[in-house]
Amino acid sequence: MMKLSRSLVTIAVVGMAAAQNKTTVSISVPSNMSTRILAPDVYGYSIEPVWLDSYLNTSLASTLLGSIANVTGKGTPIRVGGNTADQTYLYPSSPLPLTGTDSAAIPDALTATRFNITPRCWANAVAEAQAAYAGLGDSLVAFELGNEIDHFINKGWRDASWGVKTYIEQFRNLTGQITGSGWYQALAATSNSTHNNKKKTPTFQAAVFADPPLVPDQQDEIDDFSIANLTAGGITLRPEEKNIISSYAVHLYPQSTCDTPRWYRLRLDLLSDHSVLWKNVSQYIPQVAAADAAGAPLVIGETNSASCSGKSGISDTFGAALWGVDYVLTAASIGIEKVYFHLGARSEYSSFTPLPYTLKNETLVPGIRAGWYAHYFLARVVSSKNRNCGGGKRSEFHIAALPSANSSSLSGFAVYSQNDDVKKGVRHAGGKELRKLVFLDMGVWNGTEGLANPSTLSATDGTMFSEGTRPVSTFEVTTPWAQGATVKVVRLAAPGTNAKSNVSVAGTVFDDETGEPAVGGEGAQLGDEYSEIIEVGAAGILRFDVQRAEGVLLEVGGDETSVGCGDDGDHDDSQHESTPGTSGTLRAEAPTSGSEPNIDPSMSEQSQVGEPGSGATGAGVNTGAGTTREKTDAEIEADRLYEEAMEEEYAKREGGA
Ligand SMILES: *[C@@H]1O[C@H](CO)[C@@H](O)[C@H](O)[C@H]1NC(C)=O
Ligand SMILES: *[C@@H]1O[C@H](CO)[C@@H](O)[C@H](O)[C@H]1NC(C)=O
Ligand SMILES: *[C@@H]1O[C@H](CO)[C@@H](O)[C@H](O)[C@H]1NC(C)=O
Ligand SMILES: *[C@@H]1O[C@H](CO)[C@@H](O)[C@H](O)[C@H]1NC(C)=O
Ligand SMILES: *[C@@H]1O[C@H](CO)[C@@H](O)[C@H](O)[C@H]1NC(C)=O
Ligand SMILES: *[C@@H]1O[C@H](CO)[C@@H](O)[C@H](O)[C@H]1NC(C)=O
Ligand SMILES: *[C@@H]1O[C@H](CO)[C@@H](O)[C@H](O)[C@H]1NC(C)=O
Ligand SMILES: *[C@@H]1O[C@H](CO)[C@@H](O)[C@H](O)[C@H]1NC(C)=O
Ligand SMILES: *[C@@H]1O[C@H](CO)[C@@H](O)[C@H](O)[C@H]1NC(C)=O
Ligand SMILES: *[C@@H]1O[C@H](CO)[C@@H](O)[C@H](O)[C@H]1NC(C)=O
Ligand SMILES: *[C@@H]1O[C@H](CO)[C@@H](O)[C@H](O)[C@H]1NC(C)=O
Ligand SMILES: *[C@@H]1O[C@H](CO)[C@@H](O)[C@H](O)[C@H]1NC(C)=O
């Protein structure tokens, strides 16, 4: 009976296919693909320091990230850093000066070029590191020393001799001071104790380069920075240095609003394009190899669709959401273990914004943009909640990109678990078990619904619409899965590439004001909802439809319940966990400063190695030990030139709009 009714359904589908002129896409899943780790916290955020307060001021971020933690069992990593970290000025006392663009401690959205703090906030790198630990405790994972350090010559913060050699000297000096300080040593002693309760000493995220290796016309200055040069230059020469570096970071923005030439090259269909994305991400393959060889993974420490705050109409559309999913999975498949999406409370590329504000003559309300749904969809991809977890363990997932789903408009991935905790009877391949498949139709379909989102600029709502009927493809995927096995389908869907609202994941939508999920599917719990259930056919062939501009996750073994398979056994002890659902800032990677206490004065003079508490101050330069000296003329001039350049960039941006 079952077989009969299924074949009737198949016939009906074939009939529909003919009527709709469907194309068939055949995909195979090679059994011998090499895979890379797919971490449960592969998707992170990077928050610009001036906007941290805004994100912490409402419950939107904590509610949204609480949902992610509930699904993945792991907090979302947050890196605090960015441009305004490099422009953080320490004032000896309140009140902060009220002049020009730095008219307030929390600057205006588009004119924010600097961020003023008092010593009550932070003092210098070493004290700052201690303060960060005191404030964040176990949530603190790592420090960065400087932001986009391969722009420091151009910004006038280092002379032409700045390069790998001097960087390593300064990195070594600062990390040495931080790890040598009392609080760090005390923590290290605790973590050595037999009562080890997972307390770990914070590590360092090294490098933090901005320039894309293979796009010479976007490189700000000539220097010798690359991960390969850094590791060859001996950054981990000493064993203790290898232990404290937990990752190497690079930044990547495929498009940009920062200057006029790139403003005119901004395009939504270049974002929702897997071949373009591959070009952008694959340029880091040699850097991944260098980082791996040095014993720590490469991460994209700061990224988004377009630099200088993004572009509404591109950055806040469903096309950007598909790009986000493709980006994170493509990066993971080549060994980039985490991708941190930059957030500003008034940035056009932010996945969600917590407070109302005025931008370009429009009043925008707080809300959730399409990009958020990429994060939630990815949470479903990395979640091991729904699988059999008999051993009390969540499974470690690995990922490979599928060679037969690799064009501008199609991207596909296979997700595996190691077979050490696999249920008996499930088929294995190459020591790994295929658990999930992800397919992204990146083709552009401009629909007529969901065009507006009151948290985005209405001036950029879609006005170009695709003609005809939205195409649908039938996928025929040859899998190693057994005939008759059930497969849960989770769709990331929207009315079109141009949609700014009406985006959903398996029918689940998040309330724009509160961030609370309204879970699709009768009686389903967050993380257990699905769009439909299908069955594996003869010879392991799985058939399903995908419409143009849609993401699909397929998960085998869908009818196993997850009860009792909580987050009690995450294998990854290298990062600290917080209890899911308790806080939005579940883990933080707080940058520390390159303020240079007690070090070579010649470095101190040129230096503002980024991040809150940077050595240079408005009233003078921090010389360490809590005192300041007057800024040199060269420093004042460098600051002036930088601010002028920033203002010019923003002016161009407005002009181009
Ligand atoms: C079916 O699709 C193909 C390829 O997109 C197109 O060339 C053809 O004209 C379509 N046929 C019909 C009947 O719509
Ligand atoms: C997998 O096997 C195929 C067919 O034998 C071969 O062409 C391909 O190079 C192999 N790929 C890897 C990654 O080993
Ligand atoms: C955050 O909330 C506090 C207390 O309500 C308020 O004083 C502060 O201005 C708020 N900050 C922002 C950025 O809205
Ligand atoms: C996370 O799960 C806990 C326990 O089921 C629940 O109380 C909490 O509301 C959930 N949080 C979110 C944001 O869904
Ligand atoms: C911690 O243990 C390691 C290895 O046993 C040792 O080298 C290190 O000195 C210890 N650190 C402290 C602070 O006790
Ligand atoms: C790496 O260092 C070499 C030797 O100094 C230099 O020629 C090369 O340009 C550097 N690579 C990068 C990407 O800067
Ligand atoms: C991304 O790729 C596109 C297409 O090749 C290119 O125009 C753009 O400059 C690239 N951006 C970066 C940062 O690599
Ligand atoms: C905002 O409104 C002013 C006054 O009507 C106008 O001059 C300006 O061009 C507008 N700016 C934008 C970005 O629309
Ligand atoms: C996808 O295509 C690009 C460009 O042709 C190629 O370099 C890459 O290796 C392909 N990826 C896979 C998984 O086959
Ligand atoms: C879809 O709309 C975007 C802007 O919303 C536009 O750039 C693109 O050219 C449109 N594409 C098609 C095929 O209509
Ligand atoms: C589409 O989104 C708008 C704005 O959020 C909402 O009012 C409307 O109910 C949504 N429509 C559907 C069909 O979900
Ligand atoms: C850092 O450099 C200063 C000045 O050269 C030196 O006195 C100090 O010992 C160095 N500290 C470390 C930990 O290397």
477 lines ligand 7 (CB under 6 A): no
pLDDT greater at residue 373 or residue 647 = 373
Ligand 4 centroid–CA 582 distance in Å is 8
At residue 446, does pLDDT exceed 70?
yes
Of the candidates 304, 321, 301, 309, which has an alpha carbon nearest to the alpha carbon of residue 346? 309
**Buried b or exposed e, range 542-575, using 16+ CB within 10 angstroms:** bbbbbbbbbbbbbbbbbebebeebebeebeeeeb
Q: Which atom of ligand 8 is nearest to the CA of 459?
A: 14
The burial class, CB within 10 Å (0-12 / 13-18 / 19+), for 194 is: exposed
Q: Which has the minimum average pLDDT: 202-211, 517-526, 566-575?
A: 566-575
Closest Cα to atom 13 of ligand 5:
189
DSSP state of 196: -
548 neighbors 470 (Cβ within 8 angstroms): yes
Under 8 Å between Cβ of 591 and 610: yes
Q: Where are the alpha helices (DSSP H) in 566-613?
A: 601-606
Please report which confidence band the pLDDT of residue 395 belongs to, taking 50, 70 and 90 as the band edges. Answer: confident
Q: Which of 602, 589, 475, 481 is nearest to 543 (CA)?
A: 475
Task: Tell whether the model's pLDDT for residue 582 goes beyond 60.
Answer: no
Rounded distance between C-alpha atoms, residue 164 and residue 147, angstroms: 15
pLDDT of residue 123: 65
Q: Could you tell me the distance, in angstroms and rounded to a whole number, from the CA of residue 409 to the centre of ligand 9? A: 13
CA of 151 to the centre of ligand 1 (A): 51
pLDDT of residue 567: 36
CB of 33 within 6 A of ligand 9: the answer is no
- How many A from CA of 33 to the centre of ligand 2? 7
* Span 308-335, average pLDDT: 98
Listed residue (497, 578, 594, 629) closest to 70, CA to CA: 578
Return the pLDDT at 320. 98
pLDDT at residue 578, as a whole number: 28
**Other beta carbons within 10 Å of 483:** 11
CA distances 609 to 31, 282, 483, Å, are 47, 29, 58
Distance of CA 30 from the midpoint of ligand 2 (Å): 8
Q: Give the largest Cα separation in the chain, rounded.
A: 87
- The better pLDDT of the pair 252, 96 is held by 252
**Amino acid occupying residue 341:** F
| DSSP label of 470 | P
The domain limits of the chain are 6-79+205-215+227-598
Q: Please answer whether residues 621 and 605 qualify as being in contact, where contact means their C-beta atoms are separated by less than 8 angstroms.
A: yes
Poorest-confidence range of 35-49, 259-273, 630-644?
630-644
Residues pairing with 27 in the sheet: 477
- Give pLDDT, residue 356: 97
Q: What is the mean pLDDT of residues 411-429?
A: 67
Residue 33 in contact with ligand 2 by CB distance below 6 A: yes
Residue 296's CB is within 10 A of a number of other CB atoms, namely 24
Q: How far apart are CA 522 and CA 128, in angstroms?
A: 49
Q: Examine the pLDDT at 650 and tell me if it is beyond 90.
A: no
Which atom of ligand 10 is the closest one to the Cα of 462? 5
- CA-nearest of 66, 111, 114 to 91 is 114
> According to the model, what pLDDT value does residue 635 have?
57
pLDDT at position 180 over 80:
yes
Q: What is the pLDDT of residue 606?
A: 23
pLDDT (tens digit per residue) in 112-146? 555 555 544 446 778 888 888 999 998 999 999 99
Tokens of 350: 């932010």
Ligand 12 in contact with 280 (CB < 6 A)?
A: no
**pLDDT of residue 14 exceeding 60:** no
Taking only the tens place, the pLDDT of each residue in 263-306 is 999 999 999 999 999 999 999 999 999 999 999 999 999 999 99
Q: Which residues lie below 8 Å from residue 493, measured CB to CB, with a gap of 6+?
A: 503, 504, 505, 531, 547, 550, 551
Question: What was the pLDDT predicted at 148?
Answer: 94
The pTM is what? 0.83
Helix and strand counts by DSSP (H, E) for the chain: 17, 31
d(CA 252, CA 244): 24
Strands 77-80 and 306-307: unpaired
CA distance 571 to 204: 22
206 in Cβ contact with 231 (< 8 Å) = no
Q: What is the layout of strands, in order, in the sheet containing 541-547?
A: 23-28, 472-478, 541-547
Establish whether residue 173 lines the binding site of ligand 12, counting it when its CB lies within 6 angstroms of any ligand atom: yes
Least confident window among 96-105, 335-344, 475-484: 96-105
* pLDDT on residue 127: 82
Instruction: Examine the pLDDT at 362 and tell me if it is beyond 60.
Output: yes
User: What pLDDT is recorded for position 439?
Assistant: 98
Taking the CA of 24 as reference, the closest ligand is 1
d(CA 599, CA 170) in angstroms, rounded, equals: 9
The CA-based angle 163-164-167, given to 5 degrees, is: 85
Least confident of 10-19, 154-163, 224-233, 502-511: 10-19
Categorize the per-residue pLDDT at 206 as very low, low, confident or very high, splitting at 50, 70 and 90.
Answer: very high
Residue 374: both structure tokens together: 């990429």
Tokens representing 247 are: 């990752």
